[in-house]
Amino acid sequence: MVRVYCVGDNNVDIYLHTGTVYPGGSCVNVAAAVSQCGHKAAFVSTVGNDRLGDLQADSLRAVGVDVSHLHRIDAQTPWCFITVKDGERIFGRNCVQARRELPISVEDVRRGQNGEWDLLYTCSDAFYAPGAIEQFGRSDYPAVCDFTTRWTEESLREGCRHFSHPYLSCEQLTEAQVQQLLGRCVDEWGAKLAVGTMGMRGSMVYNGRKFYRQKAYPVQTVDTLGAGDSFLATFTVCYFDGLKLLRSWQTGEQGIRADSEGFLACEDRLIEKSLAFAALRAARTCQDYGGFGHGIPFEKEMIDETAI
């Protein structure tokens, strides 16, 4: 089992066309998917003392996520208006008030490095207090960051100093460009492994030794919201669970060398299997509304549209 400490963004997703609000936000969806895969997950962020904050906390508890360190303050829980056309999500107005008022702190990150967790997971959409981003790189714990679509070469160069495993959305790039970008993340900027997702063109991984490709599995799409998050969550738990086992065989005088033929062959199969499972999980997510369900009827009084 892998223990994943998710610290970062959150926002409920308000579906205007159905009048339903779902728990959501990248790190919320990832924490839920990790738990639903049978692994241990915690989630840390800031929500309001309101009905939408209850929705975030209660839905995560319902799927087994530890929310004991979730911050609750007197502010509007982050939200986003969403419509869906031909299965594709369209984002509208949004509010990030609670996350802006109480950003992720150094202590929030440090708590995930206390020996109870195997890795930390965050998203570049989070708000961080001074020093919090740097804290991810101040331990030997693997630190995963979903840079979404809003990355730049500069942000990746800086980010790879703190995050050992950058995940990137690369739908706008050709496969050759994705390969070049992942190569730079690892070979030039110091990451240990980089993942690039390309929508229906599939995904790619680079570990400093080899590029791995995975096709997307087509399904009858209802809603693509959360598909990328479930892909990344599933890849993460499959990969790090297998890596944990492989590394346990490296100890002692008779340990298996990391550069041995058997180890490298198993690593290849592990990454390929992890990508395949992730692609199938993403396809399944597209068959339902919301990142992981748990929607409730939306009422206008749930939000303050003047909040930011």
Give the domain CATH number at 87.
3.40.1190.20
Residue 93 lies in a domain: yes
Find the range with the poorest average confidence among 159-168, 173-182, 211-220, 245-254.
245-254
pLDDT at 251 over 70: no
Residue 101 lies in a domain: yes
Residue 152 lies in a domain: yes
Amino acid 130: pLDDT: 97
Bridge partners of residue 119, in order along the sequence = 4
Which pair of tokens denotes residue 20?
A: 């339903």
Region 246-250: mean pLDDT is: 84
Separation CA 77–CA 288 (nearest Å): 24
Amino acid identity of residue 302, one-letter, is: M
The residues, any chain, with a CB within 8 Å of residue 68's CB and separated by 6 or more, are: 42
pLDDT at 268 over 90: yes
192 near 207, Cβ under 8 Å? yes
Residue 170 lies in a domain: yes
52 near 15, Cβ under 8 Å? no
Residue 307 lies in a domain: no
Amino acid 248: pLDDT: 86
3-state SS, 186-224, equals HHHCCCCCEEEECHHHCEEEECCCCEEEECCCCCCCCCC
Amino acid 257: pLDDT: 80
156-176: pLDDT as tens digits:
999 999 999 999 999 999 999
Mean pLDDT of the chain: 94
Residue 269 lies in a domain: yes
In which domain, by residue range, is 145 found?
3-302
Assessment of whether the complete model's pTM goes beyond 0.85 = yes
Residue 49 lies in a domain: yes
Distances in whole angstroms, Cα of residue 17 to Cα of each of 20, 89, 220, 292: 8, 11, 19, 18
Residue 308 lies in a domain: no
DSSP calls for 223-287: --TTHHHHHHHHHHHHHHHHHHHHHHTT-STTPPPTTSHHHHHHHHHHHHHHHHHHHHHHHHHTT
108-138: pLDDT as tens digits:
999 999 999 999 999 999 999 999 999 999 9
DSSP 104: B
How many structural domains does the chain have? Answer: 1
Region 23-27: mean pLDDT is: 97
